[in-house]
Amino acid sequence: MRDFYPEDMVSRNVLFDAWKNASRAFGFAEYDACVVETFELLKRKAGEEIVEQIYDFRDKKGRRLALRPEMTPTLARMVASRFSSLKFPLKWFTIAQCFRYERMSRGRKREHYQWNLDIVGEDSVAAEAEVIATAVNALGILGLGGDDFSIRFSSRRILGELLCKQGIPDKYHAATFLALDKKGKISDGDIEAMLADAGLGKKEIERVFTVLEISALGEVERILEKKSPSLGEIRRFMELADRQGIGQILEFDISVVRGLTYYTGIVFEAFDTERRFRAILGGGRYDNLLKDIGGRSLTGVGLGFGDVVIDEILAKKSNHSGKRKSSGIIYVGFMEEAQRLAAVSLATEMRKHGHRVDLALRAEKAKSFFARASRESGSEAVYLGPDDIAAGEARVKNLADRTERKVTL
Ligand code: HAM
């Protein structure tokens, strides 16, 4: 798990600000919750990796608690408990620290921050288009555009219809989705073993693999009837996405399934164009989760966007603006103990006027003061000596462009 030193917080805040600004620009309201949940809320039927990765423990009363591995069950719990007073559809966002006992790899840590965007109570694909457009907006704020990433999407409903066409009954679909999510991550042989464990015969397993050979939406259109409701949804989704200006970033890919069981409809994930990293973000529609958790039927659409992969991508692109951003801080220093009180007054006055001020804690030589102040780019510095006190004024130096302005003491 990570420690964040002040220099790490600079880039972390740039990312969090981008997430928050995009959320607000698209009308999402912020929420938060405790990182500890009951294990009961987080556990689901076996088979999902995320449930195996939960950090759980017992408190002094023997209750089984856990650090959340994701935010979605918590969101569902919160919505369910205020169901009658909340107005739907609701659009909520949060930046949640999540914990997963994962095998550590590039882009995967045991703890990460995850921006969550969710729309609850909207049946139409307008919700999918809206959450994706918000995430694309945040990526734009971070300096990433269509050349840097793409968003691949599919639909579990379409995949379900295609599996039915291949004679694979509904009862096998959930396990098949989880196995297919492993495509490219584990060997095809291991996927076959997972499917066999789920109860599929040899012939059925072969047919599952033929579905994955579909490479374009046109092929799906040829296989499924024109009136297929899930195909209609996809067309509507693409139309809306086009209008949101994100159509060219979207790519249909039948192999996108996602590894969480609660997704029911459109699912999506974003990758860097060169596919050097793991998914930047992932999400989809979950139409049964609220019913499973809170007993009330409500549809949901959302995504999770972690801080780890995006950091690597931004570092690679080396435009992490946070590192270069000017700090706008004013350093106030003094030469001798005799100028301390004047320095304190000056700093206090500047702070009252809304400036960010770093006041020296001890007298220091001009050379070391200016060296300290110059470490942060875009800062200003005032250094008080006996002459300044005598004149009743001092100079505030802009360390970037070497300009000066006078202040009365
Ligand atoms: P997820 O696909 O498991 O979905 O995670 C979403 C994102 O969180 C990933 O794409 C990645 O950016 C980040 N992430 C996940 N695990 C780790 C890890 N161990 N280390 C670093 N980053 C990680 C969910 O969690 C869903 N609850 C998202 C969602 C919200 N769906 C609907 N609403």
Lowest mean pLDDT among 2-6, 94-98, 290-294: 290-294
- Decide if pLDDT at 319 tops 60: no
User: Residue range 311-315: average pLDDT?
Assistant: 94
Q: Give the predicted TM-score (pTM) of the model.
A: 0.90
- Decide if pLDDT at 320 tops 60: no
| Position with higher pLDDT, 303 vs 376 | 303
Average pLDDT, the chain: 93
According to the model, what pLDDT value does residue 400 have?
87
Q: What's the pLDDT band for 323 if we cut at 50, 70, 90?
A: very low
Q: Whose CA is nearest to atom 28 of ligand 1?
A: 304
User: Residue range 317-330: average pLDDT?
Assistant: 63
User: Residue range 303-315: average pLDDT?
Assistant: 96
Lowest mean pLDDT among 64-68, 223-227, 301-305: 223-227
Atom of ligand 1 nearest to the CA of 279: 10
Give the model confidence (pLDDT) of 30-70 as tens digits.
999 999 999 999 988 767 889 999 999 999 999 999 999 99
According to the model, what pLDDT value does residue 273 have?
94
According to the model, what pLDDT value does residue 328 have?
85
Give the model confidence (pLDDT) of 84-109 as tens digits.
999 999 999 999 999 999 988 888 99
User: Residue range 273-294: average pLDDT?
Assistant: 93
Rg (CA), the chain: 27
Mutation choice for ligand 1 from 49, 114, 117, 258, CB with most ligand atoms inside 8 A: 114
In this structure, the residues whose C-beta lies within 6 A of any atom of ligand 1 are: 70, 72, 100, 102, 108-109, 112, 114, 116, 118, 260, 279-283, 302-306, 308-309
According to the model, what pLDDT value does residue 225 have?
79
Q: Whose CA is nearest to atom 14 of ligand 1?
A: 306
According to the model, what pLDDT value does residue 64 have?
97
Q: Whose CA is nearest to atom 2 of ligand 1?
A: 282
Q: Whose CA is nearest to atom 12 of ligand 1?
A: 306
According to the model, what pLDDT value does residue 296 have?
85
| Position with higher pLDDT, 191 vs 322 | 191
